[in-house]
A = this chain, B = another copy of it.
């Protein structure tokens, strides 16, 4: 009998060891954000990430999203994660281009690929690996964690007959596209979402781009500027990211890391789907509110693209990482062209 009991005890102990080994250390993550949690796609995808990680981990990871500014000012998120002051963050890589110019290529590229082609490079063409390498220098683990639909080119008070009309305008503009606009004589400023409407209203800026129709609609720009231009040549698709301090990341077991990586990929699928599903409705609502939709002419787009090529060369000349990442993306896109030519209905 004693033998039997001992055997049972040993068996029970072994089972316990196995079970508690599996769900080892619970992880708590405060997640800062550069986007308000309620903002369509940009914020709601962050909330979805929080929901899914918590649901899948059954409490082994407890992640909580905080509004921009609640932990640290929105644009200090990167540095706060780097220093360990904040555990994790929800953002878009382009916000850190002042620190690492190459990361803008992991967010969006003027005249760049749309979602499918871009995802191919990111996951199977070396994109995410280069991104992780650059972030790792700053003690941050990063995953691509969402993608949103194309942006619009912007809101103008008066119709723009050609790119020559842009000269002298004061316009809010983001990222590498802003450098293109500067070459066309535009005085660009980068304003956060909440500051755009008042600046437009009081005439501090003449025009603005911000995001896609469903998001721009919420921000109410159409109440002031009635001319809405497409396509968003500067931002045909935009990646979002989830950052975790490297020490926090390394403290997680394989299961916890797998949950985060898969939650991010699920977010990519849902972001793409939602972005496609909600724009037409928003466009209709804008038109019902007196907005005129315009498409740039082919000539206008050729001008933007020519200036963009100049900007890309300048950026590559100025920064080694930019040059390396840009070369990788270009090589991928050159090869992809053959598939684009044959694979798709036009």
Is A120's beta carbon under 8 Å from chain B? yes
Query: How distant is the Cα of A246 from the Cα of B82 in the complex, in angstroms?
Result: 46
Q: Closest Cβ of chain B: how far from A290's Cβ, in Å?
A: 16
**Is A105 close to B, CB under 8 A?**
no
Tell me, in angstroms, the Cα distance from A283 to B339 when the chains sit together.
7
CA distance A109 to B341 in the complex (A): 21
Scan A165-185; emit 1 where CB is below 8 A from any B CB, else 0: 000000000000000000000
Residue of B with least CB distance to A254: B55
Report A91-138 residues with CB < 8 Å from chain B CB: 111, 114-117, 119-125
Enumerate chain A interface residues (CB-CB to B < 8 A).
Answer: 5, 8-9, 12-13, 15-16, 19-20, 22-23, 52, 55-59, 111, 114-117, 119-125, 149-150, 152, 212-213, 230-233, 236, 254-255, 258-259, 261-263, 265-266, 268-270, 272-281, 283-284, 293, 295, 301, 332, 335-339, 341-345
Please name 23 pairs of A and B residues whose Cβ atoms are closer than 8 Å in the assembled complex, sorted by A.
Answer: A8-B9, A19-B19, A19-B20, A22-B23, A52-B258, A52-B262, A56-B56, A114-B344, A114-B345, A115-B115, A123-B277, A124-B278, A152-B343, A212-B343, A230-B343, A233-B345, A276-B336, A276-B339, A277-B332, A279-B339, A279-B343, A295-B341, A301-B345
A277 touches B121 (CB 8 A): yes
- Choose among A265, A268, A281 the residue with the greatest number of B CB atoms under 10 Å from its CB: A265
A56 is contacted by which of B121, B258, B336 (Cβ under 8 Å)? B258
